């Protein structure tokens, strides 16, 4: 299979999954999803990652299909102990194998909704019996590396338009979602020490962030000593976008 360039290396996937385990993402976004849509009897979870949201969305006894092109994430999905495991498919949404329709199709924080929303919607809609749900970045600020928002704009250098604004602007009025729910949450990363925190940023941005002392000064206000190292927190907002097959949500 040809891999889209956006598919992470395993180390980046492992870091992200560990951060989500420390964050309130599954609790807050999962709760909002369940309130907006009754739990899915069958769930097609595209770009499922470690499966936190899919697990939160699935009705007990439901059937869960996870599409995931990253090997580390597939290992987490298949190997999780003591919890529901999905059927795991190694694919990207751009080249899905033939799939049956599912009650709900979920795309949470995957590449596509911001830069190719019409194409992704065309893939999702025929596969959804009841609803398509996307989770899209909605905070004003950078959308690249998860902790980019800790840097001042002149250092991260990214466009700060909320991703959801770009998604909605790219969809014609008859393809806009039936419902939008915004949820605030906090992304949490743990670094062993100051040098590891610095390395995270220099790996992403190279030496444009200045020397070690300059970068330490930028990061210091954001790093809190906790058991096991230094914790960094980034405030996030996610927009849940829902398209329903009937034109109505369950609530
Ligand atoms: C930011 S993570 C989100 C994971 C999960 N949906 C969540 O909300 O926690 C993005 C996931 O999308 C996957 N991914 C990247 N490119 C993809 C593509 N073209 N098709 C499907 N999944 C993709 C990545 O491997 C990764 O697991």
Q: Is 25 a member of any domain? A: yes
CA pair distance 53, 197, nearest whole angstrom: 27
DSSP for 145-178? STTGGGS-HHHH----S-HHHHHHHHS-GGGS-S
Q: Is the pLDDT of residue 150 over 90?
A: yes
> Cα torsion at 193, 194, 195, 196 (round to 10°)?
60
**What is the domain-level CATH number for residue 139?**
3.40.50.150
Q: Is the pLDDT of residue 2 over 60?
A: no
Mean pLDDT of the chain: 93
Helix (H, G, I), strand (E, B) or coil at 200: helix
Q: Is 215 a member of any domain? A: no
Query: Looking at residues 6-12, what average pLDDT do you find?
Result: 81
Q: Is 200 a member of any domain? A: no
Distance of CA 89 to the CA centre of its chain: 18
Helix (H, G, I), strand (E, B) or coil at 116: coil
Tell me what pLDDT residue 209 has: 87
Q: Is the pLDDT of residue 55 over 60?
A: yes
Q: How far is the CA of 240 from the centre of ligand 1 (A)?
A: 16
Residue 71 belongs to what H/E stretch? helix 71-79
CA pair distance 152, 226, nearest whole angstrom: 24
Q: Is the pLDDT of residue 1 over 70?
A: no
Tell me what pLDDT residue 4 has: 63
How many H-runs (helices) and E-runs (strands) does the chain carry?
A: 9, 8
- The burial of 215, by beta-carbon neighbours within 10 Å (0-12 exposed, 13-18 middle, 19 or more buried), is given as buried
Containing structural domain, residue 106: 10-144+158-187+238-244
Q: How many structural domains compose the chain?
A: 1
Tell me what pLDDT residue 208 has: 84
C-alpha closest to that of 192 among 222, 226, 151? 226
Among 16, 19, 46, 49, residue to substitute to test ligand 1 (most atoms within 8 Å of Cβ): 49
Percentage of residues in the chain having pLDDT higher than 70: 95
Q: Is 73 a member of any domain? A: yes
- The burial of 102, by beta-carbon neighbours within 10 Å (0-12 exposed, 13-18 middle, 19 or more buried), is given as buried
CA nearest ligand 1 atom 25, residue = 70
How sure is the predictor about 11, in pLDDT bands with cuts at 50, 70 and 90? confident
CA pair distance 53, 31, nearest whole angstrom: 9
Q: Is 64 a member of any domain? A: yes
Among 7, 71, 88, 116, residue to substitute to test ligand 1 (most atoms within 8 Å of Cβ): 7
Query: Looking at residues 27-38, what average pLDDT do you find?
Result: 96
Evaluate: CB of 110 within 6 angstroms of ligand 1: yes
CA pair distance 200, 205, nearest whole angstrom: 9
Residue 241 belongs to what H/E stretch? strand 229-244
Q: Is 89 a member of any domain? A: yes
- The burial of 231, by beta-carbon neighbours within 10 Å (0-12 exposed, 13-18 middle, 19 or more buried), is given as middle
Query: Looking at residues 30-44, what average pLDDT do you find?
Result: 96
Tell me what pLDDT residue 249 has: 46
CA pair distance 242, 239, nearest whole angstrom: 10
Evaluate: CB of 108 within 6 angstroms of ligand 1: yes
Q: Is 199 a member of any domain? A: no
Q: Is 45 a member of any domain? A: yes
Q: How far is the CA of 199 from the centre of ligand 1 (A)?
A: 23
């Amino acid at each position: 299979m040809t891999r889209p360039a956006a598919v992470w290396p395993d180390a980046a996937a492992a870091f992200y999954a560990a951060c989500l385990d420390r964050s309130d993402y599954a609790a807050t976004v999962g709760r909002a999803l369940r309130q907006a849509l009754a739990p899915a009897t069958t769930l097609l979870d595209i770009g499922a990652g470690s499966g936190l949201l899919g697990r939160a969305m699935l009705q007990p006894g439901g059937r869960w299909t996870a599409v995931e092109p990253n090997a580390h994430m597939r290992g987490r999905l298949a190997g999780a102990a003591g919890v529901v495991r999905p059927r795991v498919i190694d694919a990207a949404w751009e080249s899905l194998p033939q799939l049956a329709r599912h009650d709900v199709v979920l795309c949470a924080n995957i590449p596509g909704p911001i830069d190719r929303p019409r194409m992704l919607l065309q893939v999702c809609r025929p596969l959804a019996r009841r609803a398509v749900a996307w989770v899209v970045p909605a905070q004003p600020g950078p959308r690249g590396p998860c902790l980019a928002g800790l840097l001042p704009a002149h250092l991260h250098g990214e466009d700060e338009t909320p991703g959801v604004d770009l998604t909605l602007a790219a969809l014609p009025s008859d393809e806009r979602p039936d419902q939008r729910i915004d949820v605030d949450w906090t992304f949490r990363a743990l670094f062993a020490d100051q040098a590891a925190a610095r390395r995270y940023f220099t790996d992403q941005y190279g030496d444009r962030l200045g020397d070690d002392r300059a970068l330490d000064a930028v990061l210091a206000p954001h790093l809190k000593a906790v058991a096991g190292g230094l914790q960094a927190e980034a405030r996030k907002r996610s927009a849940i976008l829902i398209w329903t097959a009937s034109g109505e949500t369950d609530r």
